């Protein structure tokens, strides 16, 4: 599913109006009509119910005025709360302000400053006769770039307070006011919405940081012509269950050798669990063969706990992976189709030397995770010298070490942080910046934001499962970009399936075990015969 950055959406709107002749007032009408349809489909009929509409100074406010009129036509009772005198509105918003004025729809102008107790009093007075169905947040949309303060911050605080005290749902127009459309960052303060009706396309902020304050998202078709998309090709996608199409069809006469052979370099004393989780995820996601190269003194742990994988005890590695086994690993890589390196390996000097050589000299596609990322962060000059395709899977802390930015800077603009690191590394690189709304980018300009996953993933071992899953897909000869996107989405979906029974408290091993169900759910949604 395509998603639009704020500038891309503005460009599409402009093309639609100026080149294709569809007036802005029509786009606004489509937006308001689609929003009210979404509200009634979700919350039920608005007939006989009060719908307060908070109207901002721009086109977002104009959308809110259309919504007010459409509520009136549906038999509801809109109550418009202007953040500024309506005569100060411009363009299409001003036209709609004139229409609601002629319809004599009830409204007030919120003075600056105002007593926040006055708004609840006026709304509650109407609520006594006609119950409140929802609030409409039409203050700011995707064009907001500045911090919200003063009068508008007071209005937002009032909306959030009413929502919390009275359990009245809030419907955001395009985006909850106060959220940066491209980054998901809160600009001073933001409305907390229960429903969001966005126009044309979803925006990155709808999924980043877990879609904080977005609630249920619905995309309203406002009439952007398909021809306009050819002129403004959207480079970002939102990952959905359609990623399953990246998985190859399996022939009835295929065998274990048909589905790839993954070499896993993971684990050290005290951290064997990371390697076991990585291998288990690779196996449950369909990899034909998995070999785990392990320090020889730890081999018995793997032999007893992972029956389906093969182990390769490394003779010169005792309890950690060592550079002294470089040649053994090089030999083991023959016949393999992908490698995972990093989970639980530690950062000993000998391990460090091994990681740096493998990163630069092995041509097989490779997933780089955990301690391997921390080692590369100490030698950033090596990052630009990969021996073959590489997928890096940092969390924000590891990303900080790789880039030199602090985690706050990274989290404020996750897409830009990932894109800039990718451009510095250059060739054959995919980066999956983990977190709520994982970001995936590559050096060809592709960008994706994940839509699956939940708070239950915030526990140890989940990253090890993800690296094994992505490694498995690489081993099955799926391209690095598709492997990263598919792996990230399926990982989150497996957790979502588990969260239907409990919101958190499930284990990384359970997520690995749930991967076949996640794949099955995607195929079922597509109507594929199982």
Are 306 and 338 in the same domain? yes
Mean pLDDT (whole number) for 312-327: 98
Domain residue limits at 385 = 256-523
Phi/psi for 13 (5° steps) reads -60, -45
Q: Is the dihedral of CA 186, 191, 195, 196 positive or negative?
A: negative
Q: Is the pLDDT of residue 528 over 50?
A: no
Residue-level pLDDT at 129? 87
Is residue 298 in a domain?
yes
Total number of domains constituting the chain: 2
Confidence of residue 121 (pLDDT cuts 50, 70, 90): confident
C-alpha 292/C-alpha 344 separation (Å) is 13
Q: What is the pLDDT of residues 427-477, one digit of tens each?
A: 899 999 999 999 999 999 999 999 999 999 999 999 999 999 999 999 999
Q: What is the pLDDT of residues 243-277, one digit of tens each?
A: 988 987 788 888 888 899 999 999 999 999 999 99
Is residue 245 in a domain?
no
Query: What is the share, in percent, of the chain residues with pLDDT greater than 90?
Result: 89
Q: Is the pLDDT of residue 525 over 80?
A: no
Are 415 and 502 in the same domain? yes
Residue-level pLDDT at 117? 83
C-alpha 139/C-alpha 190 separation (Å) is 10
Residue-level pLDDT at 527? 54
State how far the alpha carbon of 283 is from the alpha carbons of 216, 289, 305, in Å: 34, 8, 14
Are 304 and 161 in the same domain? no
Are 190 and 227 in the same domain? yes
C-alpha 499/C-alpha 167 separation (Å) is 24
Decide which of 211 and 199 is more confident: 199
Q: What is the pLDDT of residues 361-380, one digit of tens each?
A: 999 999 999 999 999 999 99
Q: Is the pLDDT of residue 503 over 60?
A: yes
Task: Sort strands 366-368 and 310-314 into parallel, antiparallel or unpaired.
Answer: unpaired
* Residue 137: CATH number of its domain: 3.40.50.10260
Mean pLDDT, the chain, rounded, equals 95
Range with the poorest average pLDDT among 114-128, 411-425, 454-468, 477-491: 114-128
* Residue 498: CATH number of its domain: 3.40.1190.20
Residue-level pLDDT at 124? 84
Are 188 and 44 in the same domain? yes
Residue-level pLDDT at 526? 59
Q: Is the pLDDT of residue 530 over 50?
A: no
Residue-level pLDDT at 91? 96
Q: Supply the DSSP string of 54-79, one letter for each residue.
A: EE-SSHHHHHHHHHHHHHHHTT-EEE
Is residue 26 in a domain?
yes
pTM for this prediction: 0.93
Are 192 and 284 in the same domain? no
Are 221 and 370 in the same domain? no
């Amino acid at each position: 599913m395509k998603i639009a950055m704020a500038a891309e959406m503005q460009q599409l709107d402009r093309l639609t109006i100026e080149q294709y002749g569809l007036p802005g007032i029509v786009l606004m009408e489509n937006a308001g009509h689609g929003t009210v349809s979404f509200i009634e489909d979700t919350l039920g009929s608005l007939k006989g119910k009060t719908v307060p509409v908070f109207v901002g100074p721009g086109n977002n406010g104009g959308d809110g005025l259309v919504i007010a009129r459409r509520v009136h036509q549906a038999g509801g009772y809109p109550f418009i709360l202007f953040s500024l005198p309506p005569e100060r509105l411009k363009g299409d918003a001003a036209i709609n302000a004139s229409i609601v004025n002629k319809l004599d729809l009830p409204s007030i102008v919120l003075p600056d400053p105002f007593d926040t107790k006055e708004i609840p009093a006026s709304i509650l007075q109407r609520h006594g006769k006609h119950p409140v169905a929802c609030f409409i947040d039409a203050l700011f949309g995707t064009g907001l770039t500045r911090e919200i303060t003063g009068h508008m911050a007071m209005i937002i605080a009032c909306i959030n307070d009413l929502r919390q005290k009275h359990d009245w749902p809030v419907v955001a127009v395009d985006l909850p006011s106060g959220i940066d459309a491209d980054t998901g960052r809160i600009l001073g303060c933001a409305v907390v919405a229960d429903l969001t009706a966005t126009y044309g396309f979803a925006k990155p902020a709808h999924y980043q940081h877990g879609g904080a304050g977005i609630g249920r998202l619905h995309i309203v078709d406002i009439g952007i012509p398909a021809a306009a998309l050819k002129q403004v090709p959207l480079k970002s996608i939102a990952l959905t269950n359609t990623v399953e199409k990246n998985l190859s069809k399996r022939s009835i006469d295929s065998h274990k050798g048909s589905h790839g052979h993954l070499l896993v370099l993971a684990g050290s004393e005290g951290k064997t669990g990371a390697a076991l989780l990585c291998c288990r995820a690779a196996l449950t996601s369909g990899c034909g063969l998995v070999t785990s190269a392990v320090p020889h003194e730890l081999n018995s742990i793997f032999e007893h706990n992972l029956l389906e994988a093969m182990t390769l005890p490394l003779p010169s590695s005792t309890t950690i992976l060592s550079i002294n086994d470089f040649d053994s690993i090089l030999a083991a890589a023959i016949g393999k189709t992908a490698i995972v390196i990093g989970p639980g390996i530690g950062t000993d000097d000998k391990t460090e030397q091994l990681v740096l050589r493998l990163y630069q000299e092995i041509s097989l596609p490779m997933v780089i995770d955990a301690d391997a990322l921390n080692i590369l962060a100490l030698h950033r000059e090596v990052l630009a010298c990969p021996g073959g395709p590489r997928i890096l899977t940092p969390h924000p802390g590891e990303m900080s070490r790789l880039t030199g930015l602090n985690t706050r800077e990274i989290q404020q603009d996750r897409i830009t942080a990932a894109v800039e690191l990718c451009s510095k590394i250059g060739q054959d690189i995919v980066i999956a910046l983990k977190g709520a709304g994982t970001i995936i980018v590559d050096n060809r300009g592709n960008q994706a934001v994940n839509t699956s996953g939940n708070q239950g993933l915030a526990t140890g071992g989940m990253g090890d499962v993800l690296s094994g899953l992505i490694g498995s897909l690489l081993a099955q000869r799926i391209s690095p970009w598709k492997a990263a996107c598919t792996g990230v989405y399926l990982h989150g979906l497996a957790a979502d399936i588990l969260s239907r029974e409990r919101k958190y408290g499930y284990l990384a091993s359970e997520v690995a075990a749930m991967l076949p169900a996640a794949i099955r759910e995607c195929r079922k949604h597509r109507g594929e015969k199982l």
